[in-house]
Amino acid sequence: MSEADRVPSPAAPPAGAAAAPEEKKGKEPERQKLPPVVTAVGAGRESRGAPTAGLDRGSKGQTSTLSSFVSTVSQKKEATENRSSPIHLVFPNIKNVKDPPPVCLDVRQKQRISTDDAVSSETKAPAPPEPALPIQPKTMKDFQEDVEKAKSSGDWKVVHDFYLTTFDSFPELNAAFKKDATTSLNTIEDSGINAKFVNAVYDALLNTPQDIQKTVLKGIINSLLREWKGPRTKDDLRAYFVLLQNPQFNNTSTYVIYAHLLRQIAALVEADHHFLVHWFKKLSQKRFKQVVERLLQFISLRLFPAKPEEFPPITKCSWWIPSASKVLALLNTANNLVHPPLIPYTDFYNSTLDHIDLMEEYHTWQSFGNSHRFSFCQYPFVISIAAKKIIIQRDSEQQMISIARQSLVDKVSRRQRPDMNMLFLNMKVRRTHLVSDSLDELTRKRADLKKKLKVTFVGEAGLDMGGLTKEWFLLLIRQIFHPDYGMFTYHKDSQCHWFSSFKCDNYSEFRLVGILMGLAVYNSITLDIRFPPCCYKKLLSPPIVPTDQNTPVGICSVTTDDLCQIMPELAHGLSELLSYEGNVEEDFYSTFQVFQEEFGIIKSYNLKPGGDKIPVTNQNRKEYVQLYVDFLLNKSIYKQFAAFYYGFHSVCASNALMLLRPDEVEILVCGSPELDMHALQRSTQYDGYAKTDLTIRYFWDVVLGFPLDLQKKLLHFTTGSDRVPVGGMADLNFKISKNETSTNWLPVAHTCFNQLCLPPYKSKKDLKQKLIIGISNAEGFGLE
């Protein structure tokens, strides 16, 4: 399942409705609380009744009303000379109102929203009639001229009237910003909103006098308190779409209003969420990022408020964070529908979550009995890769301890003397038979795979404190991925390995590679493996091993973009075929049959039954390309990849994998390609040198001046990989030791310990020359 399909299951429509004022003259009518959000239980879980708890893990609290807030805002009048100063609104005491249930979804749910389903359901169900909109003759040019006049004259009445009218209600918002107020514009791809006008109005808003800014907020409050009857219209969705972009919500004093806006958006029905998702993806990168950052800041400040007195108690607004998370999920889905994405997926990370009790979040998510409770694990895209690594490591440690404890209990119950070795996965291998011995050991000790790994090389004295384990990984990976071994094919154009499609009788060695990757994640080892991103997408298809052995695994939807990451030349050729303007059948003379060379023999495969007799034409070429790509990346290597899949999951079978994107699995296995040599300098340890020694100063002057390719070579030379662990350079435990040898010698590295042995070179020129020679010619020298 692609990331774009990970759309949250929207909550049901509001169960209650709020009464809107029937008239504006006279005294202000009493306003009721905003409609609560009803939670939809994930399809992958059993419904345990209506949820009653939110972020506070089950407490029943109260939520704020906006009625008293409206009167407070009305009474506060600031002098117009404070135009450029930020708004600070004071909230009255919150009334006792029953807390609405939070918005929750389960990332494990099997049913995901399909865009096609949303569109079809929208066309089947007649949309509510759009009300007649008020007339708004003001154009963007008119508005900008009014603002310029107000700045020069100091008279803001015209601008004030515009904001007062525009934000007074949802119909007024549509009248102002809808491109054509006379049409319904119910299309999923076009919101019908004049985005440039919206941007101009919001950009000018923060530079207007405070009374104008407060007028806007009062209008939003009135709109949110309106009584809803029946489903929302598309004009209502457009109003939500516009209001969510309001930069005033950066200010914590507006968070009560912001929270109610988010709750109403989160409570929309599934089809309405689809419209918003597709409209969000049409935002500019700048505006999209601003909305995302505003939501992340809202969550962070609710978790760790700088001034707790600014907000209601957490027990009274436990629905704030679930509502914000649900809206973030819609934006995340929109981002994944765009290729390339509007912003990197890492921009959705909320680093604040690194400082909460992640295991409590994980266990809450795991507990079926508490499936209605909110957990950030339900929205894994906001959890950073560093935080996910902590969850996976602690989950792994708990599994290791549990299995080791069970082994100890079994020994004692049989009245056998306990042995410390029983607490570890002990690998005894010969260097001369590394692959076969490793395969035999892992097969025999399959029940011990989740114990802590310890490696012993037969005939060699040494205690494994981590170095031997890393060396075993390095040597084994190097041997298995050697072209002569025939398991993987190295593609020079993409600089990555892919599974050989050669048929064989035993696929156990592919299972071994999967186990190695699983053990690396389990034991926090970074591997020097170059698989394309498609591999990790297949590895999570599905993320949990199916109980039915006949269920296909490792099969995912693939495109020419995936093929381009492995075989760019072939992918380009297929793209040319798709865009060819001539007669495909006559000019290419191809059929739905492909050929592959296996051990010097050319073999043919039909892409569909009778494919050798079906010509490729202009009409069916898309089908041909799709079947060809699917054959190369799925069908031709199914048995190889299935063995690899089962090997990996035999070690890493954990629900924590469901929190990961394919890109994040790659980072956990291979590390991050982002290098920060200044961070490496700060965390480096020294043995025989001090960081102020002349040789060390020469070394860092040279390294920091290296181009990226040489910096990667240095990292590969000293650690066995040119990538950085998830925890950053500090997790490398990089050490520079003094090598008391002739300065004519080259530097030496011990990759098992991430250690560089550096002779005391007398000049920067000499050090640079020797270092470049050493790191550029280390492969095959046996330096470990």
Using only C-alpha atoms, the chain has a radius of gyration, in whole angstroms, of 31
Q: What is the mean pLDDT of residues 89-117?
A: 39
Does 154 or 15 have the greater pLDDT score? 154
- Residue 752 known to be catalytic: yes
The answer to whether residues 520 and 527 touch, using CB atoms and an 8 Å cutoff, is yes
Q: What is the pLDDT of residue 65?
A: 43
Q: How confident is the model at residue 186 (pLDDT cuts 50, 70, 90)?
A: low
279 to 117, 192, 283, 355, 505: CA distances (angstroms): 17, 9, 7, 34, 52
Does 135 or 746 have the greater pLDDT score? 746
Tokens 């049901």, residue located? 12
Does 33 or 686 have the greater pLDDT score? 686
Phi and psi dihedrals of 425, rounded to 5? -90, 100
Q: What is the pLDDT of residues 533-556, one digit of tens each?
A: 999 999 999 998 898 888 999 999
HSE toward the beta carbon, residue 377, CA cutoff 13 A? 27
Q: What is the pLDDT of residues 347-401, one digit of tens each?
A: 999 999 999 998 998 988 888 544 678 899 999 999 999 899 888 878 877 877 7
Going by C-alpha positions, the residue among 671, 756, 758 that lies closest to residue 722 is 671
DSSP conformation class of 594: E
HSE toward the beta carbon, residue 457, CA cutoff 13 A? 17
Q: What is the pLDDT of residues 761-778, one digit of tens each?
A: 999 999 999 999 999 886
Q: Count other Cβ atoms within 10 Å, centred on residue 484.
A: 5
Q: What is the pLDDT of residue 532?
A: 94
Domain 535-667: give its CATH superfamily.
Hect, E3 ligase catalytic domain (3.30.2160.10)
Going by C-alpha positions, the residue among 522, 503, 497 that lies closest to residue 640 is 503
What whole-number distance in Å separates Cα of residue 364 and Cα of residue 51? Answer: 14
Domain boundaries, the chain: 140-348, 393-534, 535-667, 677-777
Tokens 């981590």, residue located? 466
Q: What is the pLDDT of residues 702-733, one digit of tens each?
A: 999 999 999 999 998 888 888 888 878 878 88
Q: What is the pLDDT of residue 268?
A: 93
Task: Find the Cα–Cα–Cα–Cα dihedral 303, 104, 245, 289, rounded to 10°.
Answer: 70
Tokens 């070579």, residue located? 713
Q: What is the pLDDT of residues 494-514, one digit of tens each?
A: 999 999 888 777 788 899 899
First to last CA, the chain: 41
Q: What is the pLDDT of residue 27?
A: 38
The answer to whether residues 530 and 497 touch, using CB atoms and an 8 Å cutoff, is yes
Q: What is the pLDDT of residue 423?
A: 74
265 to 11, 129, 750: CA distances (angstroms): 10, 20, 56
What whole-number distance in Å separates Cα of residue 22 and Cα of residue 31? Answer: 11
Catalytic-labelled residue, pool 104, 496, 535, 752: 752
| pLDDT of 609 higher than 90 | yes
What whole-number distance in Å separates Cα of residue 223 and Cα of residue 239? Answer: 9
Task: Find the Cα–Cα–Cα–Cα dihedral 250, 256, 261, 265, rounded to 10°.
Answer: 100
Q: How confident is the model at residue 180 (pLDDT cuts 50, 70, 90)?
A: confident
372 to 36, 44, 367: CA distances (angstroms): 16, 12, 10
Q: What is the mean pLDDT of residues 28-49?
A: 37
Q: CB under 8 Å to 734, separation ≥6 — which residues?
A: 680, 683, 684, 685, 718, 719, 754, 755, 756
Q: What is the pLDDT of residue 114?
A: 36
pTM: 0.77
| pLDDT of 417 higher than 70 | yes
Burial class (CB in 10 A: 0-12, 13-18, 19+), 693: middle
The answer to whether residues 558 and 534 touch, using CB atoms and an 8 Å cutoff, is yes
Q: What is the pLDDT of residue 227?
A: 63
| pLDDT of 644 higher than 90 | yes
What DSSP element (H or E) covers 426?
Answer: strand 424-429
The mean-pLDDT minimum among 157-161, 647-651, 728-732 falls in 728-732
Q: What is the pLDDT of residue 699?
A: 95
Vertex 534: Cα angle to 531 and 536 (nearest 5): 70
Q: What is the pLDDT of residue 502?
A: 82
Beta strand pairing status for 685-687 and 735-738? Answer: parallel
Q: How confident is the model at residue 130 (pLDDT cuts 50, 70, 90)?
A: low
What whole-number distance in Å separates Cα of residue 259 and Cα of residue 27? Answer: 27
Burial class (CB in 10 A: 0-12, 13-18, 19+), 654: buried
The one-letter code for the residue type at 629 is: V
Q: What is the mean pLDDT of residues 181-190?
A: 72
The answer to whether residues 226 and 20 touch, using CB atoms and an 8 Å cutoff, is yes
Q: What is the pLDDT of residues 439-485, one digit of tens each?
A: 899 988 888 887 888 888 888 876 666 678 888 888 888 888 888 88
Does 759 or 77 have the greater pLDDT score? 759
High-pLDDT (> 90) share of the chain, %: 47
What whole-number distance in Å separates Cα of residue 11 and Cα of residue 330? Answer: 12
The mean-pLDDT minimum among 159-163, 365-369, 756-760 falls in 365-369
> Which range, 99-113, 128-142, 758-772, has the best average confidence (pLDDT)?
758-772
| pLDDT of 131 higher than 80 | no
HSE toward the beta carbon, residue 527, CA cutoff 13 A? 26
| pLDDT of 620 higher than 90 | yes
CA 724 to mean position of chain CA atoms: 19
**What token pair was written down for 273?**
């969420």
Tokens 């929109």, residue located? 334
Beta strand pairing status for 748-750 and 755-758? Answer: antiparallel
Q: What is the mean pLDDT of residues 26-39?
A: 38
Phi and psi dihedrals of 287, rounded to 5? -70, -40
Segments in 590-620 forming alpha helices (H): none
Q: What is the mean pLDDT of residues 82-86?
A: 39
Q: What is the pLDDT of residue 292?
A: 97
Going by C-alpha positions, the residue among 721, 704, 783, 779 that lies closest to residue 749 is 783
High-pLDDT (> 70) share of the chain, %: 79
What whole-number distance in Å separates Cα of residue 284 and Cα of residue 281? Answer: 8
Q: What is the pLDDT of residues 116-126, one digit of tens each?
A: 343 333 333 44
Residues in the chain: 784
The mean-pLDDT minimum among 40-44, 382-386, 581-585 falls in 40-44
Q: How confident is the model at residue 62 (pLDDT cuts 50, 70, 90)?
A: very low
406 to 392, 403, 412: CA distances (angstroms): 21, 5, 10
Q: What CATH architecture does domain 393-534 belong to?
A: Alpha-Beta Complex (3.90)
Does 127 or 56 have the greater pLDDT score? 127
What whole-number distance in Å separates Cα of residue 588 and Cα of residue 593? Answer: 13
Q: Do domains 535-667 and 677-777 have the same CATH topology?
A: no
CA 649 to mean position of chain CA atoms: 21
Q: What is the pLDDT of residues 239-274, one digit of tens each?
A: 999 999 999 999 999 999 999 999 999 999 999 999
Q: Count other Cβ atoms within 10 Å, centred on residue 528.
A: 18
687 to 81, 671, 693, 756, 783: CA distances (angstroms): 64, 26, 12, 10, 20
| pLDDT of 295 higher than 90 | yes
The mean-pLDDT minimum among 20-34, 191-205, 718-732 falls in 20-34
Vertex 287: Cα angle to 286 and 292 (nearest 5): 100
Domain 677-777: give its CATH superfamily.
Hect, E3 ligase catalytic domain (3.30.2410.10)
**What token pair was written down for 135?**
């007339």
The answer to whether residues 87 and 50 touch, using CB atoms and an 8 Å cutoff, is no
